[in-house]
Structure 1
Amino acid sequence: MNIGIIGLGYVGLTTAAVLAELNHHVICVDNDSGKIGRLRQGIVPIYEPGLEECITRHCQDGRLLFSDRMEDGFGGCQVIFITVGTPPLDNGSPDLSALSAVIIELANRIRSFTLIVIKSTVPPGTCEWVAKTLLDIGVDPTQYDVASNPEFLREGTALHDMLHPDRIVIGVRTERAASLLREVYTGIDTIYTVTSLSASEMIKYASNAFLAAKISFVNELSRVCDALGVDVAEVSAGMSQDVRIGPHFLQAGLGYGGSCFPKDVGALYHAAVSRGVAMPILRAVKEINDTQVDWCIDKLSESFGDFEEHRQVAVWGATFKPDTDDIRESRAVLLMKKLTESGYQVHAYDPLVKPEVPHVWWFNDMYDALVHCDALIIATEWSLFQDVDWSEVTKRMKGNLLFDGRNFIDRKKAEEAGLRYLGVGRP
C-alpha cells in the first residue's frame, strides 16, 4: 500500500520506519528542508535504538522516500498519517496550528478516496473538526474519511512497541476506515480497540494521565515513607504483586518528564476546566511532579549538614529517561538548574547529550566528572550506571555521598565501596 506521513518528529519517523518494515511504500513529508536533506543522507535527527538502521535499510530498498514538498507523491496514497507536533500553549491547551495548516493544504490535493489518520495527540473533538473543515472547504465527502489512531510509544523501545503493541486504538466513523487501518497494520498481532473518533482521542489523554498519576502517587508515598522510616522500594514491590495494581510506573524518583506526560496532563486538565469540570486529582498529579525535584534537593542538603563545606556535586544523566537523546521536560536538567540556583557547583555527564545548562560543567568521562565532588547524583537510570566500578567512584570523589535519584542502584555494592547511600524515600 502507498502511505503518506506528514510531520517527521519522533512519532512520524518511527511510524514511517515501522510501516516500511510492514512492506508498505511510504512517502514522508516535512517542511524542514534541512531535516529532509539529512534524512536523504541517512542521518536520523533523533536517537532511538534500531531506528537509524531501519530507516537506512528501507531507503535503500526504495520503501521510504523523503520530501519537503507536499505535492510530491501523495496523489497515489490511500492513507495519509498526520504526525505534526501539538506543543502546549501558555494556558496548557495544545497548539493545533500545524495540524490546521496541513489540513488546509491537503484539502487542495485530494483527488481520490483518501483516509486521513490523525496520529498526533489532539483533544477530543479534533478529528470531527477535521472532517467538518474539509467539508466546509468543499472537498467531496465521498473522497475522504478521517480516523484517529493515537500512538503509545515509549522512547527507548519505540520500534518494539509499535511492532508488538498491547493494542491498536482506532477511532472511526465508518467500517471502511476501520478495515483500511487494519490492512495498514497487517503483520502485527494484537487486539484492536475500535471506538468513536472522540473516544479514541480521549483514550490517549486518559492513558498518559493515569500513568503520570501512578508516578506522582508513588513519589508522594516516598515522602511519607521517608518521614516514617519505611523503604518505599519495599512498599512498591509489595503493591506491585497485586494484579489490580501491577509493577509498572511505581518507582519513586525525580518525577516524570518527556514530551508526553507533562503536555498531556496539562492538555486534559485544560480541556476539563474550560468546560467547568474540576479535576483535583489531575491538579495534584502536576503539583507533586512540579515539587519532587525540590523535595529531593532538600533531602540532599539535609544530608550534607554544613552546606558551606559541601557544595560541589556530580550529576550523571541528563535525558528524561535512558536510551534516548530527548531532554524535553527532563527532571535531570531541571535538577541541574535548581542545584546551580541553590549555590551548588555541578559537574555533569550523560552518554548521549550535553544540553546547555548555565553554570554546569560537562565531562566526556563519567569518572572524570567526580573529581573534587562531595556527592554523586544519579538523575537518569542509564544501565551503564549500574555497572560502574564503585571503588573507582569512591577514589575519585572528595566526599562519599551517593544520591540515587531513580532508586535503581544496587545499594549494597555502593555501600560496600564506602559510599553513603541516599535514595528517594529509602531510609
Structure 2
Amino acid sequence: MKIAVAGTGYVGLVTGVCLAHKGHQVTCVDINEEKVAMMSRGESPIYEPGLPELMKESMESLCFTTDYRTAYRDAEVIFIGVGTPEKSDGSANLAYVYEAAKQIAQSVERDCVVVLKSTVPIGTNDKIESYIHDKQVNDVKIYVASNPEFLSQGTAVRDTLCASRIVIGVTEDHPAEILKKVYENFDAPKLVVARRSAEMIKYASNDFLALKISYINEVANLCETVGANIEEVTEGMGFDERIGKKFLRAGIGYGGSCFPKDTKALNWLANFNDNEIRTIRAAIEVNENQKFKLVKKAKKYYGDFLFLNVAVLGCTFKPGTDDLREAPSLVNVPLLMEDGAHVRVWDPVGEENFKKLFPKKIQYCSSIEEAISGADICLILTEWDEVKNFDIRKYETLMKKPIVLDGRNCYRLEDFENTKITYDSIGRKTINPELYIGK
C-alpha cells in the first residue's frame, strides 16, 4: 500500500521503516531539511539498535521529504507520529498533531485513512476528525483511526515487528479493514475497538507499568529499613502469574519519553474531568522522590560534596538509547555541581546529548576507568552492559575512596564481600558500610 508518515521521531521513523520492511511504499515527512537529507542517505537521526540496518535494507520502499503536499496527496494511509510533549500543567501539547492534520486536510486528493499513532488524550481522535473535515479542501472521504504504539526505546524495532498486540480504534468498518490490510504481514494479535478505548488502552498500559515500577521502588526502600533483600522479594513475587516478573526491578525511578509524560497526562485528564486516579498521582510522586535516592545515600558518607570528585556512570534514562528525557542524571548532576562537586561523566552513547545541556564544568570521560580514577564516590545511574561487566576490583584500585552507590543494582552483593569497597545499592543491605560511614 502507499503510506505516508508525518514525523520522524522514535514513533514515526520506526513505524515508517518497519512498514517499508514489510513491503509497503512509505514516504516519511519531516520539516527539517538537514534531517531529511541524512535519512535519505540511509542514516538514522536517532540512536536505536537495529534501525540503521533496517533503514538501509528497506530504502527501495522508503523515501523522505519535506514536501508534505506530494507525500499526502495520493496516500492510501497517513500515519501521524509527531510528538505530544507535556505542557507545564502536565497536559499533552497537541500543536504538532493539529498542524499535521491541517496539512493532510489541505493536501489529500483521494479517499484515505488518517491514523493517529501519537499518544493523545482520550477524545482527541474525535476532535481531529472534525478538524480535518472542517479544513479539507477536496471532496474526498477521510477516515480517522487510532493505532497507539507500544514500543520501548532500545527495542523499538523488535517491539514493532514482533508486537505484543496491534490495537485498532475505529468508529466504522472501512478504516478497520484498511488497517488490517496494512498489518496483514505482522504476526501479532489484532484488536479492533472503539477509538476512545484505543486511546485509553495506551495510557492505561503505560501508566500500569509505571505503577509497578513505583510500587517496587517503595517496597525496595522499605526492604533497606527492615533488612530484607528486594531481589529475593521480587523473585518470589514473579512466580505468581497474576503479577509477573517484568517491571519489578528496583532502581532510581523511570524516565524517558513515555512513562513520565503519560502518567502526568492521565492525571491531568482525570482532574480536568472531576475525577481522581490516586494511584497514578502517587506513582508520579514516588518516582520524583526516587530519582534523588543516591544523593540522599551519599549524605551518609559525606556531609557535603564541596571539592569532591564524583564519578557518574551513565546519563541516559536507560541503556540502549541516547535519550535523556526525564533521566535521573538531569536532576542529580546539577545538585552535585551546586554543592561544589567536581563531576566526571561517562556514558557510551549519551555523552554528546548531555554536553549540549551541560557544556561546561563537567569532565567527560571516554572510559569507566577514567571516570572513577581518584574519585571520592561513584554513582551508577544507568545499567549499561559496560558497567555490569566491569571488573569491580578496579573500583578499589582506582578510586580515592571506593564508595559505589548503585542506582540500578548492577552487581551481586557477594562479589563485594571480601573487598574494601563500600557498595550501597537499592533495596539490599550495604556491603562494608563501616569503612566510610561517619569517617
Q: Indicate the TM-score class for this superposition, using the shorter chain for normalisation.
A: over 0.9
Distance 2:308 2:289 in 1: 21
Aligned to 1:247: 245
Task: Tell me by how many angstroms 1:257 deviates.
Answer: 0.3
Residue pairs, 1:279-318, within 5 angstroms: 279-302=277-300, 304-305=301-302, 307=304, 311-318=308-315
Range with greater deviation from structure 2 (267-276 or 71-80): 71-80
Task: Tell me by how many angstroms 1:305 deviates.
Answer: 5.0
1:1-26 Cα offsets, whole Å, 9 max, x none, are 11000101111110111001101110
Distance 1:330 1:305 in 2: 24
Aligned to 2:383: 381
Distance 2:307 2:417 in 1: 20
Aligned to 1:164: 162
- Residue 371 in structure 1 maps to residue 373 in structure 2: yes
Task: Tell me by how many angstroms 1:410 deviates.
Answer: 2.7
Distance 2:379 2:305 in 1: 18
Aligned to 2:46: 46
Distance 1:308 1:85 in 2: 38
Task: Tell me by how many angstroms 1:362 deviates.
Answer: 1.0
Q: Identify the match of residue 424 of structure 2 among 419, 422, 425.
A: 422
Residue pairs, 1:51-90, within 5 angstroms: 51-59=51-59, 62-90=60-88
Given residue 30 of structure 1, which amino acid in structure 2 is its aligned partner? D
Given residue 420 of structure 1, which amino acid in structure 2 is its aligned partner? T
Residue aligned with 1:115, SS: strand
1:339-375 Cα offsets, whole Å, 9 max, x none, are 2233432211000122033633211111011111122
Q: Over the residues paired in the alignment, what is the CA RMSD in angstroms?
A: 1.7
Structure 1, unaligned stretches of length 5 or more?
none
- Residue 257 in structure 1 maps to residue 271 in structure 2: no
Structure 2, unaligned stretches of length 5 or more?
430-439
Given residue 19 of structure 1, which amino acid in structure 2 is its aligned partner? L
Q: Identify the match of residue 205 of structure 2 among 185, 207, 218.
A: 207
Distance 1:254 1:228 in 2: 19
Distance 1:56 1:222 in 2: 44
Aligned to 1:16: 16
Aligned to 1:101: 99
Aligned length: 424
Q: Is the 8 A contact 2:375 2:399 kept in 1?
A: yes
Distance 1:400 1:43 in 2: 41
Residue pairs, 1:110-259, within 5 angstroms: 110-137=108-135, 143-259=141-257
Q: Is the 8 A contact 2:304 2:339 kept in 1?
A: no
Q: Identify the match of residue 361 of structure 1 among 348, 351, 363.
A: 363
Distance 2:84 2:106 in 1: 23
Distance 2:305 2:387 in 1: 29
Q: Identify the match of residue 335 of structure 1 among 332, 337, 343.
A: 332
Task: Tell me by how many angstroms 1:295 deviates.
Answer: 3.0
Residue aligned with 1:26, SS: strand
Q: Is the 8 A contact 1:310 1:374 kept in 2?
A: no
Aligned to 1:410: 412
Given residue 17 of structure 2, which amino acid in structure 1 is its aligned partner? A
Range with greater deviation from structure 2 (311-320 or 293-302): 293-302
* Normalised TM-score (structure 2): 0.93
Q: Is the 8 A contact 2:321 2:350 kept in 1?
A: no
Task: Tell me by how many angstroms 1:81 deviates.
Answer: 0.3
Residue aligned with 1:252, SS: coil
Q: Is the 8 A contact 1:390 1:417 kept in 2?
A: no
Residue aligned with 1:72, SS: helix
Task: Tell me by how many angstroms 1:139 deviates.
Answer: 5.9
Q: Is the 8 A contact 1:135 1:141 kept in 2?
A: no
Task: Tell me by how many angstroms 1:134 deviates.
Answer: 2.2
Distance 1:293 1:73 in 2: 43
Distance 1:365 1:2 in 2: 46
1:117-148 Cα offsets, whole Å, 9 max, x none, are 00000001111111111222356786111100
Distance 1:360 1:332 in 2: 13
Distance 1:308 1:332 in 2: 16
Q: Is the 8 A contact 2:43 2:52 kept in 1?
A: yes
Q: Is the 8 A contact 1:111 1:143 kept in 2?
A: no
Q: Is the 8 A contact 1:371 1:396 kept in 2?
A: yes
Q: Is the 8 A contact 1:110 1:143 kept in 2?
A: no
* Normalised TM-score (structure 1): 0.95
Distance 1:20 1:135 in 2: 29
Determine what percentage of the aligned residue pairs are the same residue: 38
Change (3 A) 1:141 1:301: farther
